[in-house]
Structure 1
Amino acid sequence: MFAYFFLALRDLLDCAEHSRRDAYLAEAVDMVELERRMRLLDAND
């Protein structure tokens, strides 16, 4: 039971993180800004 809860919580947090990153990338005004933001996210991983 605990393992199922842990996996469900992990999936929920992964989904929230992906949504946050998608929103951040969507705010870029041009391709240069988008690429800069993508590099920044990659560097933080």
Structure 2
Amino acid sequence: MFAYFFLALRKLLDLAEHSRRDAYLAAAVDMVELERRMRLMDGND
């Protein structure tokens, strides 16, 4: 039971993180800004 709860919580947190990253990238005003943001995110993984 605990394992199922942990996996469901992990999936929920992963989806939230993906949504946050998508919103951050979508807020870029041009390609240069988008590429800068993508490089910044790659460095944080």
TM-score > 0.5, shorter chain as reference:
yes
Flag structure 1 segments of 5+ consecutive residues without an equivalent: none
Aligned to 1:6: 6
> Could you tell me the percent identity over the aligned residues?
89
Alignment: residue pair count: 45
Q: TM-score when scaled to structure 2?
A: 0.98
Q: Which runs of 4+ in 1 moved over 2 A?
A: none
Q: CA RMSD in A?
A: 0.3
